[in-house]
Structure 1
Amino acid sequence: MRKALALAATLGTLAMTRALMRDRHVPLPTALPGRRETLSAPQVGTVAYYASPEGSGRPILLIHSINAAASAYETRPLYLHYRENRPVYALDLPGFGFSDRSRRRYTPRLMADAIHAVAAEIRARHGGETIDAIALSLSCSYLAKACLARPADYATIGLISPTGFDGRLSGEGPPDGHRGREILRDVLDRPLIGPLLFSGLASKVSIRFFLEKTFGATKIDEGLLDYAYATAHQPGAEHAPYCFIAGHLFPTDSTLLYDRLKLPVWMVHGQRGDFVDYRLAPRFAERPNWRIDSLPTGALPQFERLRAVTDCYDGFLASIRPSSPRG
């Protein structure tokens, strides 16, 4: 009897695993217009990015957030807007979109290294010109880390709904560390347990639920929902989210990173939804190199009030004098 039960359990597990794997082959269209290109970098692997380099002026790099279904699509409104008048690029961070989704540890250092690689490629294409860069949410800390490591690459940085200004994820801990729990990561990495959990997170019901919390409203961007579902159903889509869930992608020093920035910094955040704790923002608001705006939106203001976002950002750029501090 025990052998029969064990065999039944094994067959059931195999059937569920096969069903989950079949669900990982949803067609994935390109997230943005322009050219989709790739580059390879040591310890990073293949990084995919979108390029619309035809405009004039300083190039801009857009960096999406981190979640179970993240991709460059999150930057789509900004990408479409700025490609009309300046060179614009947007990358898929490692573990997401068309970038390398291999089974490995995903950390803030890996993400910063990917930003380094793409920033260097953009500068090489534009005669060594420094770039403007805008990141979303958790990726703002990766951009700050990249900027501090290679300040000569950047003219300005923009932070949309950045983490690290709240009471829970502010980081004044060890430099270059993360909050990862290896035991949790190992549990998620086991057959069945992790795939079952990720399958639930990657369902349309779950993605809609989290987007509604992000937007702070039941009205969300349906195109973002559809693309999030597709990108979360690709082979290897679970590996980076496992590290996200286990804490490996959360830096221990995010607030200290922001504290050390000397170049011009623009920040904008929404006023509703689950991501409105910016209690540490006043610490930066009076600094001459910072400008902080808030809008009556959720945490993805570029999808709700694009004109307001671009007006704020363009005003910030226009206010910068050549003598602005760098670094």
Structure 2
Amino acid sequence: MTPSRPSGLRPTPGRAAWVFGLPLVAGLGWTLFSRLRVPHDLTPPPALDAERRTLNGRAGPVNVYVAGSGAPLLLIHSVNAAASAYEVRPLFEQYRTSRRVYALDLPGFGFSDRSDRDYTPRLMTDAVHDVLDEIALESGESVDALAVSLGGEFLARAAAERPDRFRSVALVTTTGFGRNEQFYGGLGSTRGRPGIKRAYENPLWAQPFYDLLASAPSLRFFLAQTFGSYAAVDEGLLRYDYPTSHVPGARHAPFAFIGGLLFGADIDRVYEALTVPVWLAYGTRDRFTDFGDLSNVERRPNWSLTPFDTGALVYFEEPARFTAAYDAFLAGAGAG
């Protein structure tokens, strides 16, 4: 005789429907909350207290902050769901007293154009060239430039294409150096697929999904991964991330990012093509970026490497040590 199951454990149709219906109910609830309660038209304040210019070049309307006088220094932020020039704020404030500093909002972020278009390494690199054009018109001098995380790939690409415009390049916790990563694809190829971004952009779930990524708890969580801990998160950056990620069109560039369309499948070729002095400064506690294989650049005479026991945004956590090391690099490169 087959023993009977306790009635409380029987997989009845009603109970199964309730269990499997939970995700659907939760999804519908969040979609309704997203539509009715989440703001999508906030106006963030400027990320930096500086002159703002809108350039209209290859990349369409892009915003650049400008301050100070002296030799030009270009700063470029990273790419994430809430990226903006605020990410380079400590460096902007540090160097505006001695340099002519430019801080770019990459296409799809900050006060740059956020329309629904193809966000690619080419578009981002063209934005860098647009700022270089502006600097050339203003001073005609070659540029020291620094970029963070994935922004470093765009800066490196621009420097490989126009080395004559650069005195030096600094890459802070930039991408493409993970263990067992080899990116020697065709020139201009990426690591993503357009179909992935199209799936994210489905009007049924695009905005609710992005609102989940850009919710206050999610922003704090991802910043904690970037900084290496919750305690290290810069509260000013966290406060700015919410309004800058809740403006019209905010989701389009981040969807290209999470779909892999902004990562160069050829980036090892690009790094190895650099002829200007390059400083790679990286935080060892960033939980998104792996520096397990630096073999293709660590012995190149124009490359200098400095690890820091910090998260990705080294200069937020160790500003004095970082700027001392950067200044030493600039002096050694003849760019100080």
Q: TM-score, normalized by length of structure 1?
A: 0.89
The aligned counterpart of 1:82 is 95
Contact 2:277 2:303 in 1 (8 A): yes
Which structure 2 residues correspond to residues 3-14 of structure 1 after superposition, within 5 A?
Answer: none
> For residues 130 and 26 of structure 1, do their structure 2 counterparts lie closer, same or farther at Cα, with a shift above 3 Å needed?
same
CA RMSD, 1 decimal:
1.9
The aligned counterpart of 2:178 is 166
Contiguous gaps of at least 5 residues in structure 2: 1-27
The aligned counterpart of 1:251 is 264
> For residues 12 and 79 of structure 1, do their structure 2 counterparts lie closer, same or farther at Cα, with a shift above 3 Å needed?
closer
Q: Distance in 2 between matches of 1:18 and 1:275?
A: 31
Query: Greater shift after overlay, 102-111 or 253-262?
Result: 253-262
Aligned length: 307
Contiguous gaps of at least 5 residues in structure 1: 1-10, 323-327
> What is the deviation of 1:19?
2.3
Aligned partner letter, 1:187: A
Is 2:39 aligned against 1:23? yes
Q: Distance in 1 between matches of 2:180 and 2:196?
A: 20
CA offsets per residue over residues 82-131 of structure 1, 9 Å max, x none? Answer: 001111010100000000000011000000000000111012111x1000
> For residues 102 and 317 of structure 1, do their structure 2 counterparts lie closer, same or farther at Cα, with a shift above 3 Å needed?
same
Aligned partner letter, 2:285: R
> What is the deviation of 1:302?
1.1
Contact 1:103 1:236 in 2 (8 A): yes
Q: Distance in 2 between matches of 1:19 and 1:167?
A: 44
Structure 2 residue matching 1:102: 3-state secondary structure: coil
Q: Distance in 1 between matches of 2:33 and 2:272?
A: 48
> For residues 263 and 207 of structure 1, do their structure 2 counterparts lie closer, same or farther at Cα, with a shift above 3 Å needed?
same
Q: Which of 178, 182, 207 is the aligned partner of 2:190?
A: 178
> For residues 75 and 38 of structure 1, do their structure 2 counterparts lie closer, same or farther at Cα, with a shift above 3 Å needed?
same
Q: Which runs of 4+ in 1 moved over 4 A?
A: 11-17
Contact 2:146 2:169 in 1 (8 A): yes
Aligned partner letter, 2:66: A
The aligned counterpart of 1:217 is 229
CA offsets per residue over residues 232-287 of structure 1, 9 Å max, x none? Answer: 00000001011111111111111111111111001100121314521222432222
Structure 2 residue matching 1:119: 3-state secondary structure: helix
Residue identity (%): 45
Structure 1 residue matching 2:242: 3-state secondary structure: helix
Query: Greater shift after overlay, 102-111 or 312-321?
Result: 312-321
The aligned counterpart of 2:157 is 145
The aligned counterpart of 2:20 is none
> What is the deviation of 1:16?
5.4
Which structure 2 residues correspond to residues 271-310 of structure 1 after superposition, within 5 A?
Answer: 271-275=284-288, 277-310=290-323
Q: Distance in 1 between matches of 2:180 and 2:151?
A: 17
Structure 2 residue matching 1:103: 3-state secondary structure: coil
The aligned counterpart of 1:35 is 51
Aligned partner letter, 2:48: L
Structure 2 residue matching 1:307: 3-state secondary structure: helix
> For residues 12 and 210 of structure 1, do their structure 2 counterparts lie closer, same or farther at Cα, with a shift above 3 Å needed?
closer
Q: Distance in 2 between matches of 1:169 and 1:186?
A: 26
Select the structure of larger CA radius of gyration. Answer: 2
The aligned counterpart of 1:6 is none
> What is the deviation of 1:210?
0.6
Q: Distance in 2 between matches of 1:296 and 1:38?
A: 37
